[in-house]
Every structure is written in C-alpha cells, then in structure tokens.
C-alpha cells in the first residue's frame, strides 16, 4: 500500500467519524445518541479554537488542550491535520480532484501554481486574532500580578507568532528583514496595544468560528444538510427541524465547496485561518517534504498533483504543504522525500508566504480596531434587543461573545429546536450564535433540560445542573436561572382583548407554583339587556331572544342580574329561540333553573373569563407559554430578556436588590 492510499484511508476514517459524531449529537440513551461520545473532539482538535479563546478570555479550557496536541504534532510532522484528518479538507480534496479530472497537464500545473493571494488566509487569521485579543489591554487584566503575568505571557506568544510570520522573508524575493526591523515591529505592536488600553471599549470578540473549517462543516451538516434531508433527527420531534437563515449557511457551505472545482483546496489555500495557523507552526516542522535537487529533472509531474500549491518542483513551501504525499508517488525520479530536514538558514526560507510585516500589522490592527467599533452599537452591553434570549447558563453577553465559536453544537443538541442561529439580531459579531426562538421550535426551553450547557466546548454556556437551573437544593438561595420574563400583550390576548376564554399559557407554565396566575372576571357582552317573562319547567322564557354568535363556549356564558352579587349570576346550560336554561348550584352542589324564581327586571348576557397575569418573581422565561399561545402571528404572551439572571443590569426598570422586578 502506498502512502496516498494510507492517507485516503485516514481521510475516509476521519470523515466518517466526523459525520457519525454529528449524527449522535442528540439526546437519548441508544448508542446512536449522545451518551459518552466525544462529540466535540474535532472542534477541540482544531488549535484555532484553543488559541482564539485563550486570546479572548486569558484561559484555556481543558478540552481545548487537544488543540495544543495538534500544534505539537504539527511542529514535529508538518500539517498532517489538514491533509490527513480535517473532514472539510477531505471534502475539498474530493471536489478538487473532480474539478481537475479533465484538465490537461499544463492546466493542472497552472491550477496548482502558488499565488500571492495565499496570504489572504493570514490576513483573516490576524484579523480574527486581533479582534479576540482586545481584552488583553483592558485595565482589569493588569490589576494583579497573576493576571498581568498571564496577559503578558499570552501577548508574548501572540507577538512571537506575528513576528514569526513575517520574519522569515518572502517566498518570491527571499528577502529577510533585519533584527532592527524585527525589534521595531515588536515595539510598534506593544505601543499600539498600550494605547488601545486607554479606550473604554477595548473588547474582545471571538470570530474564529466564522471561517473555522470544523465549525463551518459542523454548522452546515447540523443546521442545513441533516434537517433538509430529514437525517439523524432527534427522536420524538414532530416534523422537521427549522433553521433561521439556513439559506445563508447553505450558500456559504456551497460556495466553500464549489470553489474547489475551480481551484483544488480553494478554501485551504486562500481562506482557512486554521490552515494559516498550522502553516505558521508547520513551516518549522522537524519532518518535511524535501526535494533532492540533483535527482530532479524538472518534469513538473509533482506540480500536477499538488493541490496545496506548495511548489514541490522548486523550494517546497513546507508551511503550505498538507502532506498529501501525491508528489512522492508521482515523481518518477524519487526526487521528493519526506524526512527530517534542517531548516535552511536565512534567505529564501521554505514555507514562508508573501506576507509583509506591514500586512500582518495592518490585519492585526484592523481586528483590534474592528471589535470595539462593531460593539459601539451597544447591542451587547447597553441596548438589549428584545429577541436576543440566550440559552440557560449563557455568560453575560460580552463574555459570551468572547467565547462562542458558532459551532452550533448547542443548536443541534436542543431537543425542541428552540435554539436558532442568530442572523443580525445580536449584532454583526453575534452572527450564528444561539438565540431562542419560541415560535420556531416544538416547545420552549424544557424545564428539566440542561443539554446545551453540557455540550458547549468553550463554556460560553457554562455547565448547569438541573438543581441550579431550578434554584433548588444547594442553589435555593440564588433562585432559578432566568432567561427573561414573559409579558402578556393585552391587545392580543384572547381573554383581555377579545373576551374569549383561554388559559393555555397558564396550563402550560412548567414552574411550580405557576408563574402565570389568572384573574377571574365576568364581562357583560355588548348587547341590549334582556327580560325574563316567565318560567316553563327548567327554562326561562325571554321574549325576542335569539342565541348569540359568540366565540366563547356556552359554558363560559352567564346570565347576570347583578354583577356585584354572585347570587344573581347564573351559568347558562342551554338556550334556543326565546328561551334560556340556566343552572343553579345550591350549597350541596346540585340544582338547576327550575329551583329558582325568574328574575325581575333587566338581565344581561356575560362571559366568565380567566385573564392571565405574570408573576415575574417566578417566571423563568422558558417561553413555553409563548410557544403554546394560540394567537397566530405575533403571540399574545411574549418573552423578552429583561430580568435574565446572567446580566444584573437587565432588570426591567431600575436595578432591584433581588434581581427581579
């Protein structure tokens, strides 16, 4: 078996494993459901998430240490992850191969030629890192020795990465900057950061997930492909799953794949920030593809199969090389070998890209600048968009945006499909982050469920127990976790606005005691008073009476003589032209109209209603009432994020000591 066969086996294995782990990300106890499957493993393996969250939060979560394992192995072996593991890389590989099938020798060489646009992926990488590392400069990062040391450590690592990128020279010119230039660059980065620390809006925003290939593929499978074809749906979910803005997710996915038909591994070459990160490490790898120059006849066969465009017939750009092994196989002279090779000294360093230090700094600076500017709209800190309700356990909004990698794992695991990817409602930086849409799912947030908090790989949604969610047991003094608060719209509510009985929201409220209480009222119907002229057996004779069209069921209608006196209010049992039969319940619990005398004077038709009122001290904002509300279109009871526990500022009016209204 030759090397490219082994590579294909590896790619197939990891692609199947990836799809399997996506498929089992749903609740249940069967082996095809989540149980203990490591469903976040691919996300954790990708170092982009690890470095991005470390820059944004100053911490590295245990699961993300897998990313460091990948980086260490890349330092040893080169970019094996891209060529042998990454499932999105595999899909690109297949499409690239399809696109190249009918091309001639020279067309293939041209398609696989290195292009200076490869630098684009570094620009994306440094922009997203720049956006993420804003908080490194906020004053609270320097208040204690330990946080200052951590911050400096992170910054040193980031600066080393920046300097490393541009300090080995340029692939085409081979020109390497002097030590003085290196020093000046480092000083400029440092001073820029210190200046930024003066700005109160220096914030971090983790946007690595926008272009991260693992998050992109995970989102596309879970939110678009599986639901579109009805695959691997959660058990018991009636109908299909919905995805807000699926068109955008689908279009991005199709474009990212389709471009491979034009250029093999298009996404890897030009766009992938994870590939750029691994390039930075991989180009220093101990083991690498090396060309034995005196064997090479410059036949260029290797160039026809190198879909990473790393120039195997020249000085190999080892940072670009994804170790596909195709060149090893096709070279008739065995002029390419994978071996432990020393790094060449200064000029014409292999693996360098055409990225000047100015471009690195501009990209980094653009990211540092972009995060606070985007956040100036105040959506995450001051304005509270009424439709941005985050899952239970979510951190306060700025911290949430610093951690969420938009992987969509929480959306996938949610049993009711109430979690949806945000489009623009949470602002530009909130794109594809999870929000609850109570009308989209099959219910609201389930009272006993904490699934999303258990699956989030970056703790943007922190782990909750059911006790903590309910505010019971050890958490009794803290109270429940609130997502927001429900408000009854009295202009749309059936009992309030239309005089029609409805207690659906009260019945479905899962909190005990219920957060929705009802107020009983007896409302006169808008019609002229009636007169009872006689009694015949059980019926009262009402001259000229015709049964009225009313949307309330008959048992909610009453005949009332005195609205202030319950003894003169009778529920209607039946009626017909010219007669009404009322019931009368005596203290022993039985009786009917025949047992009471007909009333004298005017009587009125009335409807008995139970009007909902929300007790905000109990409401947890689960949205089940909003989902179940029978009013079509805009529901008559709606949840907004006011009073959510994750943000002490978000009470409805002035701040309340208890955190409630």
Burial of 236 (0-12, 13-18, 19+ CB in 10 A): exposed
Query: Is 179 within 8 Å of 4 (Cβ atoms)?
Result: no
Shortest Å, Cβ 427 to ligand SF4: 15
Burial of 571 (0-12, 13-18, 19+ CB in 10 A): middle
User: Residue 34: helix, strand or coil by DSSP?
Assistant: coil
Q: 94 CB contacts (<8 Å, ≥6 apart)?
A: none
414 binds ligand SF4 (CB under 6 A): yes
Shortest Å, Cβ 448 to ligand SF4: 9
Nearer to ligand SF4, 323 or 410 (CB): 410
Shortest Å, Cβ 5 to ligand SF4: 35
Find the binder of ligand SF4 among 227, 325, 434, 623 (CB under 6 A): 434
426 binds ligand SF4 (CB under 6 A): no
**Tokens 């219910």 belong to residue:** 443
Q: DSSP label at 140?
A: G
Find the binder of ligand SF4 among 419, 505, 572, 625 (CB under 6 A): 419
Q: Using CA atoms, how far apart are residues 37 and 28, in angstroms rounded to an integer?
A: 12
Please choose, out of 59-67, 176-184, 192-200, 406-414, the segment that lies near ligand SF4 by the rule CB under 6 A.
Answer: 406-414
Query: Is 453 within 8 Å of 392 (Cβ atoms)?
Result: yes
Find the binder of ligand SF4 among 409, 508, 643, 645 (CB under 6 A): 409
Give the tokens for residue 408.
């969509």
Nearer to ligand SF4, 87 or 408 (CB): 408
Q: Using CA atoms, how far apart are residues 22 and 25, in angstroms rounded to an integer?
A: 5
**Tokens 């320097």 belong to residue:** 142
Q: Using CA atoms, how far apart are residues 259 and 95, in angstroms rounded to an integer?
A: 9
222 binds ligand SF4 (CB under 6 A): no
* Residues between 362 and 391 that touch ligand SF4 (CB under 6 A): 391
Nearer to ligand SF4, 465 or 660 (CB): 465
- x-or-dash string of contact with ligand SF4, 446-465, rule CB under 6 A: x--xxxx--xxxx-xx----
Find the binder of ligand SF4 among 151, 416, 640, 643 (CB under 6 A): 416
Nearer to ligand SF4, 456 or 485 (CB): 456
Shortest Å, Cβ 298 to ligand SF4: 48
Please choose, out of 121-129, 145-153, 339-347, 415-423, the segment that lies near ligand SF4 by the rule CB under 6 A.
Answer: 415-423
Shortest Å, Cβ 61 to ligand SF4: 11
| Secondary structure element (H or E) that encloses residue 516, with its range | strand 516-524
Nearer to ligand SF4, 43 or 272 (CB): 43
Nearer to ligand SF4, 25 or 185 (CB): 25
Nearer to ligand SF4, 458 or 643 (CB): 458
Burial 414-439 (b: 16+ CB within 10 A, else e): bbbbbbbbbeebbbebbbbbbbbbbb
34 binds ligand SF4 (CB under 6 A): no
* Residues between 88 and 147 that touch ligand SF4 (CB under 6 A): none
Q: Is the dihedral of CA 107, 108, 110, 115 positive or negative?
A: positive
Please choose, out of 149-157, 304-312, 443-451, 497-505, the segment that lies near ligand SF4 by the rule CB under 6 A.
Answer: 443-451
Nearer to ligand SF4, 202 or 419 (CB): 419
405 binds ligand SF4 (CB under 6 A): yes
Nearer to ligand SF4, 130 or 623 (CB): 623
Please choose, out of 30-38, 188-196, 403-411, 502-510, the segment that lies near ligand SF4 by the rule CB under 6 A.
Answer: 403-411
413 binds ligand SF4 (CB under 6 A): yes
Chain-centroid distance of CA 571 in Å reads 52
Shortest Å, Cβ 401 to ligand SF4: 10
Find the binder of ligand SF4 among 203, 310, 445, 639 (CB under 6 A): 445
Q: 438 CB contacts (<8 Å, ≥6 apart)?
A: 418, 444, 623, 624, 626, 627, 635, 639
Q: Please give the span between the terminal C-alpha atoms of the chain, in angstroms, as a whole number.
A: 70
Q: 193 CB contacts (<8 Å, ≥6 apart)?
A: 136, 137, 155, 368
Shortest Å, Cβ 199 to ligand SF4: 27
Find the binder of ligand SF4 among 392, 495, 623, 641 (CB under 6 A): 392
Task: Please state, as a whole number, how many other Cβ atoms lie within 10 Å of the Cβ of residue 154.
Answer: 21
Q: Using CA atoms, how far apart are residues 102 and 638, in angstroms rounded to an integer?
A: 58
Q: Using CA atoms, how far apart are residues 110 and 330, in angstroms rounded to an integer?
A: 17
Shortest Å, Cβ 234 to ligand SF4: 10
| Secondary structure element (H or E) that encloses residue 635, with its range | none
Nearer to ligand SF4, 271 or 411 (CB): 411
Q: Using CA atoms, how far apart are residues 429 and 379, in angstroms rounded to an integer?
A: 10
Considering CB under 6 A, how many residues would be counted as binding ligand SF4?
29
Shortest Å, Cβ 148 to ligand SF4: 28
Q: Is the dihedral of CA 85, 307, 211, 70 positive or negative?
A: positive
404 binds ligand SF4 (CB under 6 A): yes
Query: Is 375 within 8 Å of 203 (Cβ atoms)?
Result: yes
Task: Please state, as a whole number, how many other Cβ atoms lie within 10 Å of the Cβ of residue 490.
Answer: 12
Task: Please state, as a whole number, how many other Cβ atoms lie within 10 Å of the Cβ of residue 600.
Answer: 9
- x-or-dash string of contact with ligand SF4, 301-340, rule CB under 6 A: ----------------------------------------
| CA distance readout (Å), 475 to 332, 466, 480, 658 | 70, 10, 8, 15
Shortest Å, Cβ 219 to ligand SF4: 8
Give the tokens for residue 628.
């179940």
Q: Is the dihedral of CA 537, 539, 540, 544 positive or negative?
A: negative
Nearer to ligand SF4, 44 or 446 (CB): 446
Shortest Å, Cβ 41 to ligand SF4: 14
Nearer to ligand SF4, 47 or 415 (CB): 415
- Greatest C-alpha distance within the chain: 121
Q: 574 CB contacts (<8 Å, ≥6 apart)?
A: 554, 580, 581
7 binds ligand SF4 (CB under 6 A): no
Q: Is the peptide bond preceding residue 409 cis, with omega within 30 degrees of 0? A: no
Find the binder of ligand SF4 among 15, 410, 426, 572 (CB under 6 A): 410
Nearer to ligand SF4, 271 or 624 (CB): 624
Please choose, out of 243-251, 442-450, 510-518, 519-527, the segment that lies near ligand SF4 by the rule CB under 6 A.
Answer: 442-450
Find the binder of ligand SF4 among 408, 480, 499, 641 (CB under 6 A): 408
Q: Which residues bind ligand SF4 (CB under 6 A)?
A: 391-392, 404-410, 413-416, 418-419, 433-434, 445-446, 449-452, 455-458, 460-461
């Amino acid at each position: 078996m030759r090397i490219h066969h082994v590579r294909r086996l590896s790619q197939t294995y990891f692609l199947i494993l990836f799809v399997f782990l996506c498929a089992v990300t749903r609740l249940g106890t069967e082996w095809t459901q989540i149980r203990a499957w490591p469903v976040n493993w691919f996300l954790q393996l990708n170092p982009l998430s690890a470095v991005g969250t470390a820059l944004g939060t100053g911490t590295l979560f245990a699961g993300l240490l897998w990313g460091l394992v990948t980086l260490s192995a890349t330092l040893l072996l080169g970019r094996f992850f891209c060529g042998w593991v990454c499932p999105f890389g595999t899909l690109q590989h297949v499409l690239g191969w399809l696109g190249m099938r009918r091309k001639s020798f020279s067309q293939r060489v041209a398609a696989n030629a290195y292009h200076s646009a490869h630098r684009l992926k570094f620009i994306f990488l440094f922009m997203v890192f720049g956006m993420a590392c804003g908080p490194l400069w906020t004053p609270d990062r320097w208040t204690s020795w330990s946080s200052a040391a951590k911050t400096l450590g992170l910054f040193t690592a980031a600066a080393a990465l920046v300097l490393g990128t541009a300090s080995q020279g340029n692939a085409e010119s081979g020109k390497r900057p002097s030590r003085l230039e290196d020093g000046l660059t480092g000083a400029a980065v440092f001073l820029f950061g210190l200046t930024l620390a003066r700005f109160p809006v220096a914030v971090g925003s983790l946007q690595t997930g926008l272009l991260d290939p693992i998050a992109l593929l995970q989102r596309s499978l879970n939110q678009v492909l599986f639901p579109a074809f009805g695959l691997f749906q959660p058990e018991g979910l009636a109908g299909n799953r919905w995805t807000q803005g699926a068109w955008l997710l689908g279009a991005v996915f199709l474009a990212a794949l389709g471009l491979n038909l034009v250029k093999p591994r298009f996404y890897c070459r030009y766009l992938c920030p994870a590939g750029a990160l691994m390039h930075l490490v991989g180009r220093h790898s101990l083991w690498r593809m090396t060309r034995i120059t005196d064997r090479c006849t410059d036949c260029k066969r290797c160039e026809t199969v190198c879909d990473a465009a790393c120039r195997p017939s020249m000085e190999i750009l080892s940072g670009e090389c994804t170790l596909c092994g195709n060149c090893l196989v096709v070279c008739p002279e065995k002029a390419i070998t994978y071996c432990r090779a020393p790094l060449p000294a200064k000029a014409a360093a292999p693996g360098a890209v055409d990225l000047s230090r100015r471009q690195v700094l501009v990209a980094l600076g653009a990211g540092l600048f972009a995060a606070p500017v985007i956040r100036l709209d105040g959506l995450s800190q001051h304005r509270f968009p009424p439709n941005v309700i985050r899952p239970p356990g979510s951190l306060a909004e700025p911290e949430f945006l610093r951690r969420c990698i938009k992987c969509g794992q929480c959306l996938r695991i949610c049993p009711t499909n109430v979690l949806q990817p945000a489009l623009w409602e949470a602002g530009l930086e909130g794109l594809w982050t999870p929000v609850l849409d109570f009308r989209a799912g099959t219910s609201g947030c389930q009272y006993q469920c904490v699934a999303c908090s258990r699956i989030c790989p970056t703790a943007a949604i922190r782990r909750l127990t059911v006790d903590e969610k309910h505010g019971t047991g050890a958490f009794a003094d803290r109270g429940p976790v609130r997502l927001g608060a429900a408000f009854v719209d009295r202009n749309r509510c059936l009992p309030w606005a239309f005089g029609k009985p409805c207690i659906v929201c009260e019945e479905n409220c899962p909190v005990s005691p219920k957060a929705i209480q009802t107020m009983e009222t007896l409302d006169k119907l808008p019609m002229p008073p009636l007169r009872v002229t006689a009694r015949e057996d059980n019926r009262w004779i009402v001259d000229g009476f015709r049964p009225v069209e009313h949307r309330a069921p008959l048992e909610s209608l009453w005949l009332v003589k005195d609205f202030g006196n319950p003894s003169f209010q009778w529920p209607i049992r039946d009626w017909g032209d010219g007669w009404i039969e009322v019931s009368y319940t005596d203290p022993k619990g039985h009786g009917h109209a025949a047992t009471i005398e007909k009333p004298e004077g005017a009587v009125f038709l009335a409807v008995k209603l139970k009007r909902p009122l929300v007790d905000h001290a109990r409401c947890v904002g689960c949205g089940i009432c909003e989902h179940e509300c029978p009013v079509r279109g805009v529901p008559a009871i709606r949840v907004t994020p006011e009073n959510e526990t994750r943000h002490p500022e978000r009470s409805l009016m002035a701040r309340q000591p208890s955190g409630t209204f």
